[in-house]
Amino acid sequence: MSQLEPLIADLALILICAGVMTLLFKSLKQPIVLGYIVAGFLASPNMPYMPSITDGHGVHVWSEIGVIFLLFALGLEFSFKKILKMGAAPIIAAIAIILFMMYVGSLTGNLFGWSDMDCIYLGGMLAMSSTTIIFKAFDDMGLRKERFAGLVLSVLIIEDILAIVLMVMLSTLAVSKEFEGTQMLTSILQLGFFLILWFVVGIYLIPLFLRKAKPLMNEETMLITALALCFGMVVFASAVGFSAAFGAFVMGSILSETVEAKQIEHLVAPVKNLFGAIFFVSVGMMVDVALIIEYIVPILCIIAAIMLGQTVLSTCAFLISGQTLKTAMQCSFSLTQIGEFAFILATLGTSLHVTSEFLYPIVVAVSVFTTFTTPYMIRLAEPAYNVVARILPERWRTKMESNNTEEAEELETDSMRLLWRSEFKKFILIMLINSVLCLAIIAVMYYYGVPIIYGLLPNPWSGLVTAFVTLSLCGPFLWALMRRGGNSDNVNKLWYEGGRIERIKLTAWGILRLAIGAAIIAYIIGNTLPMSGLLGIFAVMVVALYIFLSPNLEKRSNRLTKTFTDNLNVREQ
């Protein structure tokens, strides 16, 4: 009789426990995610009266796949485009929440006399709520379509992005004992560069690929293709220093703009449910009753700090971002937990030998407890708001309920200011997108094109060919960088009707765009051709003038822009 692999036996045990517990919790009208956590505790080695798993590493790998699928599904449901439509509110709220909760975490650690590094890392752990757990809770409770849920998920995605920067800061602090501003700035720029590049290239290429392959697509091939794209981005994101889950979310957000998004979401759902269940069961497996008893006082204090900090300080953060009191409280009550990022940060501190050994089990216990209470806190938000609304003075309540409309009303009374703000956002997007695409083309040429060209041709022909090919590929994007939108109806209205200040702004912005384009051209020429001094400046000016005036580059740029815009809006159309 053949021996059953331990990993298969563990999977059987996990699914049996999860099946029984989810049926039980469903019959009790409780969130299913709580049933998974209880199932994990029952299947863990920490439960002596039950069979337990034997291959912890295998279950951990499965749980990581579960996080990938959950974030991929989140991206399919909630794209970057929706985040952009929400404006600055999620960004303001996310930054304020991170600052508030890092202070709360550091203060809590200081109360127990922990080391400075323990306090700082604890603050980082408390600053990031769990995207996976909240997404699952909203899904189970049927709240994903609510406005406050959309705002919460926007904040969580921004927190995940900022988490990468925070990890770089804490890693640098651990090694050098001081913050390294240059490394932090490099990390932020790298993050922004890859986000823009992935989104723009993905929106341009993936819908085209899916349209071409549509005659060959059935449910099976669509599922395999979607998962191939997801895991391809996971590998790419990991290779450039980002988390696998973040890469999965990016690909999900790209696919969410395609007409196949609903079909992909439907096909991925069973796989997501399976591996997502394993992830939440693995969270329950980390519950160790003995360690909880040993560190019960710090655990309870940290739980209280999260509950009070998030419900009070996060409400203030959402109010600062312009939300009403009710929306702010619904959002803040949803964030009262820590999750996967806390484990990542705890592991980072342990691997760098800068945090104490007791911090990891404490964080695990806090995470499990706050995960368990998340659905109840979400339900508690509205009753808590009713109580607060009765207690607050009428004048304060009126102010808090109307603060999100005051800025809009002010802008509506100043049409030129509103018009300038709209055009300024467009100029920023044009500058960022086309600059990133030019830099990406330059990087690809220098890493892959230059060795081939220089291997085939002698100098100076190799340099001339490299410069010509690079400038030809960058040409449409350089034209857009220097000219796109500069002669639109809105810009003309600002120029002729806006007055002297608007003309100065438009002139300054035009000069800046020309300068950035010229700088990119100068970099290409300077690194491929033996030109310097006046000759180099003259060459840059001639190329820049040709690109600026070229009708051919204008047509190519317009064609590329139209394809991108059509792909971006095809699902709505």
Rounded-to-integer distance, Cα 279 and Cα 26, Å: 19
Q: What is the 3-state secondary structure (H, E, C) of 444-496?
A: HHHHHHHHHHHHHCCCCHHHHHHHHHHHHHHHHHHHHHHHCCCCCHHHHHHHH
* Residue 50 DSSP symbol: S
Alpha helices in 112-146 (DSSP H): 116-127, 131-141
Which tens digit of pLDDT belongs to each residue from 7-55?
Answer: 788 888 888 988 998 899 888 877 777 788 888 888 888 777 778 788 7
* Concatenated DSSP letters of 290-357: HHHHHTHHHHHHHHHHHHHIIIIIIHHHHHHTT--HHHHHHHHHHT----HHHHHHHHHHHHTT-S-T
pLDDT at residue 410, as a whole number: 46
- Which helix (H) or strand (E) element contains residue 248? helix 244-255
- Which helix (H) or strand (E) element contains residue 421? helix 415-444
Rounded-to-integer distance, Cα 229 and Cα 232, Å: 5
Rg of the chain, C-alpha, whole Å: 27
Is the entire prediction scored with pTM above 0.95? Answer: no
Which tens digit of pLDDT belongs to each residue from 193-249?
Answer: 888 888 888 888 898 888 888 888 888 999 999 999 999 999 988 888 777 877 888
* Residue 145 DSSP symbol: T
Residue that has been written with the tokens 């690109």 in this structure:
547
Rounded-to-integer distance, Cα 414 and Cα 409, Å: 9
pLDDT at residue 301, as a whole number: 92
Rounded-to-integer distance, Cα 524 and Cα 170, Å: 36
Residues of the chain with pLDDT under 70: 1-4, 78-87, 164, 168, 171-184, 340, 347, 401-415, 532, 571-573
